Copies of this chain bind each other. A is one copy, B any other.
Amino acid sequence: MAVHNATGHYHHGDLGNALLQAAEQLLQEWGVGGFSLRDVARVAGVSHAAPYRHFRDKAALLRALAGRGFERLRAALAAAAAGQRGPEQSLIEATRIYVYTAVQNPGMTRLMFGGVIDAEEDVGCARAQAAVLDVLAGIIRAGLQVGAFRDRDPQELALVAWSTLHGLALLAGSAQLDVDPDDTAQLEAVVRSVAQNILYGISRS
């Protein structure tokens, strides 16, 4: 077992993880542009050169962090979509998850969707991002199969649903849409009207 940095020269055995945790803390506290790689190392209690043993550069660390965000969002979406009465309800729940996640974690939202990272540069990150989309696409496919949605190109339906959720998430995650993270009634109203709008667009009849 390695010696802790405060008492010796080596960090514990899982610095990669510790760096990601430190980075997430700084992301929440200071936003995407508000911290440096040196800050991350500082918070993790290692020298500013140590992160380079675990990540190729700062962008790689940010991609890994975004990958975690994508995976969490995917899991939350999948859990919310499952066990609903039908694809329409699943879509409403997915919208709710998107909005709440964005409002409660604006920094991570901006990191994931604000064009800060290039997910394609990292296989894991790209896969995690694609998996988020897959949940949405799965809901669309299920709706088409049971005849709940308009018989159009699934990709077309997914695009409009995705655009709307994406836009709402970024608006909610920035100061542009002034929602109070604790005002449940307001959040519910936003979820309802936006989800309703998507459903009007893609539901049959």
Query: Contact size class for A?
Result: 35 or more
Q: Closest Cβ of chain B: how far from A74's Cβ, in Å?
A: 16
Tell me whether A110 is interfacial, beta carbon within 8 Å: yes
Interface residues of A in 139-193 (CB under 8 A from B): 152, 156, 159-160, 162-171, 173-177, 189-190, 193
A159 touches B194 (CB 8 A): yes
9-residue interface stretch from A3-11, A49-57, A111-119: A111-119
Tell me whether A27 is interfacial, beta carbon within 8 Å: no
Tell me the interface secondary structure of chain A in the complex.
helix
A194 touches B162 (CB 8 A): no
User: Pick the contact of A170 from B115, B175, B196 — CB < 8 Å?
Assistant: B115
Tell me whether A198 is interfacial, beta carbon within 8 Å: yes
23 contacting pairs across A/B (C-beta < 8 A): A32-B115, A110-B115, A113-B170, A114-B170, A115-B170, A115-B173, A115-B174, A118-B175, A152-B193, A156-B189, A159-B193, A159-B194, A160-B194, A162-B167, A164-B167, A164-B197, A166-B167, A166-B170, A166-B171, A167-B167, A170-B170, A197-B197, A198-B201
